[in-house]
Structure 1
Amino acid sequence: MFKYFDQSGLVHAPEKDQYFYGHGKVLLSGEYFVLDGAKSLGLPTQVGQSLSVKYSSSFEPKLYWKSFDPAGNLWFQASFEFWHFDILDEVPTPEAEVLQKILRQVRSQNTHFLREGKDVHVETQLGFPLDWGLGSSSTLIHNIADWAYVSPFELLFETLGGSGYDIACAQSDGPILYHRTNEGPNWSPVIFDPPFKENLFFVYLDRKQNSRHAIEYYNEKRPHAPEIIQAISDLTDDMASAKTVEEFNFCLKAHEELVGKNLNMTPVKERLFEDFSGEIKSLGAWGGDFVLASSIEGRRYVTEYFNAKGFNVVIPYKELILSPEVKSGTEYNIH
């Protein structure tokens, strides 16, 4: 025991500094219906979020939390006591209350989490703007779960909710096929490296959607016929195996029409970009964040088209999506 004390009588923290990282995500197919078991195509992004942990000696241990945006600006900070994760700040922010909920759930999954008498300093670093909708929450859940040795899926389902595809993306090194069963989340790597990726672009609409509100809207439309779930799954398979941009665009259009018809929503191309030469698909909750634009006209046309309409963030597929060589056939089944 005495080896942890220095000459001043302070206790040395035996833990080493720790570092965790999760990839961001894009949901190419299966939005909404993935909640009911439809197969979806998830794309981990090259950018994500890190979480670093430092420990220091203390007789009154506390948790100090700071979060930074890509420019290094502090956008969130809070402090907590350890026993119940009560917020120590005079006026708790909504973000602090969400984090508190996550930390308390972690403690219920791992009763030994942060029980030692040491100050803990956590810093998170986003690799993308907070309002881009690429997974600031899911990467946080993934990183905290990794740190605390708990299931990230249980942590997600018991706090923020959702399908879990984003958690699978956070820990994957390339595109995945994801679906939920009664037994739990299932996903497998898929070789999705389209030869026509030069024709694919992600366009930021600057209209961030609340995922929880999107889930609530979808739940109001339940139940959905098994035939619809199967049709979405079939389109996911067709997208993943498309060999030409024409095949891929056919799938994009069919997927938009199927989702729009069954949820009583208007596809984004019909609503905002009717004169676009190509196809446009919503990604994730309809109405905000990013859309995928696919066109044989090339980068200059796509960029100029959206810039003219006031949308200045147009990212080529290969600059955003993580696409390493993977071996197909490995399936993960997490209960």
Structure 2
Amino acid sequence: MNDKKKFKAQGKFLITGEYAVLNNVPALAMPLKLNQYLEISDRDDQVITWKSYNNNGDLWYQLATNVPDLCSDSINCSNPISLKLSKILNTALQLSSNNSLRGFDAVMTLDFDRHSGMGTSSTLISLISQWLGCNPYQLQFKCFGGSGYDIACARASKSLVYSYNNADPVVEEVTFDPAIKECIFFVYLNRKQDSRDSIAQFNRELLTDDLREELTNMPQGFISASNNVSEFNKYIDRHEEIISSLIGLLPIKKQLFEDYEGSIKSLGGWGGDFVMATGGVDARDYFKDKGYNEILEWDEVALKT
């Protein structure tokens, strides 16, 4: 049997509302044109193989098992990745009422580095939900938790304002195509941030009604200010100030780049992954001189809208 099915899911950047999005604060998020792909080839037997490749072609994970073992309550394996994959697949089958899984060969590939924080967990959830026909939000909440904004980005056609809405997500697609995009770029901080660990830093008791309202208005504020660098910087700086007060951490600019002339905003969990920075052409050299060599331009990552 050589019945192949192919699926894709987009990476993401969270522009506003990190941490607070789980407390029903609307967040601005942008899907990326960088994808994760899943190719499934059905088999005539009960054998299952899974191979995952990084964006550079390196095989970083593989599994060989069979349907009965995979569908058991506890797969006979000590590899935590295999155990998690087993949980995701079994949960997806339960959510889709699909009890007829047979052998398959799975190959997963990436347009972006799996350590980059662009969303390998959420894209995996999206891909499996597409394949097995279940609700991706339910699968995400059962297997990983989180707000689900990244699930919304995985198949969106443009940027969006995402509301967690007590695990009943509301998604509004918006146009976020800054006139100043040549002055906006993304810098990888050379370290991976575990979003589940970072969520624990958020102190919801500090989220006053006034701060909630201010954060709720941030998505439209960023969009409206995206034709003027100085106004855009004001929104970045204020947003960083608010989130800093809620999680008890200094903004990344104060931590690492205090002498930088432009503005810098964390994207998602603070302390790792990518940041968004503003500045002219020479501003990229500032980060390269400090050893941050992975710099992406807006048009390299943003979906065309």
Give the TM-score, by structure 2 length.
Answer: 0.94
1:197–1:179 distance in 2 versus 1, CA, 3 Å:
same
SS at match of 1:96: helix
Alignment equivalent of 1:153, drawn from 137, 156, 161: 137
Query: Is 1:17 the equivalent of 2:17?
Result: no
SS at match of 2:179: coil
| Partner in structure 1 of residue 110 of structure 2 | 126
Deviation for aligned residue 1:90? 7.2
Q: Describe the superposition over 1:259-284 as per-residue Cα deviations: whole angstroms up to 9, x where unpaired.
A: 10122110111111111111000110
Say if 1:23 and 1:44, in contact at 8 Å, map to a contact too. Answer: yes
Deviation for aligned residue 1:231? 1.2
Alignment equivalent of 2:196, drawn from 200, 212, 227: 212
* Count, aligned residues: 302
Alignment equivalent of 2:42, drawn from 30, 33, 55: 55
| Partner in structure 1 of residue 85 of structure 2 | 99
Q: Describe the superposition over 1:56-94 as per-residue Cα deviations: whole angstroms up to 9, x where unpaired.
A: 212xx1321110111222110113432462589975321
| Partner in structure 1 of residue 152 of structure 2 | 168
1:109–1:194 distance in 2 versus 1, CA, 3 Å:
same
Query: Is 1:189 the equivalent of 2:197?
Result: no
SS at match of 1:286: coil
Q: Any unmatched runs of 5+ in structure 2? A: none
| Partner in structure 2 of residue 65 of structure 1 | 50
Query: Mean Cα displacement is larger for which, 64-73 or 282-291?
Result: 64-73
Give the TM-score, by structure 1 length.
Answer: 0.86
Query: Mean Cα displacement is larger for which, 231-240 or 174-183?
Result: 174-183
SS at match of 1:103: helix
- In the alignment, residue 22 of structure 2 is paired with which amino acid? L
Q: Describe the superposition over 1:37-74 as per-residue Cα deviations: whole angstroms up to 9, x where unpaired.
A: 1111111111110001001212xx13211101112221
Query: Mean Cα displacement is larger for which, 157-166 or 209-218?
Result: 209-218
Whole-angstrom CA distance in 2 between matches of 1:79 and 1:111:
24
| Partner in structure 1 of residue 15 of structure 2 | 28
| Partner in structure 2 of residue 309 of structure 1 | 290
Whole-angstrom CA distance in 1 between matches of 2:79 and 2:138:
25
Q: Describe the superposition over 1:74-127 as per-residue Cα deviations: whole angstroms up to 9, x where unpaired.
A: 1101134324625899753211111111112112212324x25x4211111111
**After TM superposition, where is structure 1 displaced by more than 3 Å over at least 4 residues in a row?**
86-92
- In the alignment, residue 262 of structure 1 is paired with which amino acid? L
Say if 1:175 and 1:323, in contact at 8 Å, map to a contact too. Answer: no
Say if 2:25 and 2:216, in contact at 8 Å, map to a contact too. Answer: yes
Query: Is 1:266 the equivalent of 2:250?
Result: yes
Whole-angstrom CA distance in 2 between matches of 1:292 and 1:166:
17
Task: Show the 5 A alignment for 1:231-246.
Answer: 231-242=214-225, 243-246=227-230
- In the alignment, residue 95 of structure 1 is paired with which amino acid? I
Q: Describe the superposition over 1:145-170 as per-residue Cα deviations: whole angstroms up to 9, x where unpaired.
A: 01011000000000111110000000
Task: Name which one, 1 or 2, has greater alpha-carbon Rg.
Answer: 1
| Partner in structure 2 of residue 85 of structure 1 | 70
Whole-angstrom CA distance in 2 between matches of 1:18 and 1:247:
46
Whole-angstrom CA distance in 1 between matches of 2:123 and 2:167:
23
- In the alignment, residue 33 of structure 1 is paired with which amino acid? A
Query: Is 1:320 the equivalent of 2:276?
Result: no
